[in-house]
Amino acid sequence: MSSACAIQIRHASAADESGVRACVDAAYGPYVKRIGKPPAPMLDDYAALIRSEVVHVATSDGRLVGEAIAEGYRRVPETAEELHRADENARALVTEEPR
């Protein structure tokens, strides 16, 4: 019998940057050869995005298992309204952790 793991979603912290980058690279890396260059998400400044609180991570048992950035917010939000919208939208988006 298997036990269920609880997933928690929270804002990413600076300590999550390498895990976020690993998830993004795993998700978009296969497209580099196909399109001849890294897709835009692989070029993003995740340190800045994390500082602006638009990056969310999913964790299970203290381990990062996914990341999400609200659609349209691959740039740092400039207003409180943009930040609020990004926060709400990102909670629904999670990329699977690289294996």
pLDDT at position 76 is: 58
pLDDT at position 41 is: 87
pLDDT tens, 60-92?
Answer: 888 888 888 865 655 555 667 766 666 565 554
Confirm whether 79 is domain-assigned: yes
CA distance 65 to 82: 26
Confirm whether 65 is domain-assigned: yes
Closest CA to 83 of 51, 42, 45: 51
Number of domains in the chain: 1
Query: What is the pTM for the complete model shown?
Result: 0.68
By the 8 A CB rule, do 49 and 74 touch?
A: yes
Number of continuous H segments (helices) and E segments (strands) in the chain: 4, 4
Show the domain range for 66: 8-96
SS3 call for 92: coil
Confirm whether 3 is domain-assigned: no
Is residue 13 predicted with pLDDT exceeding 90?
A: yes
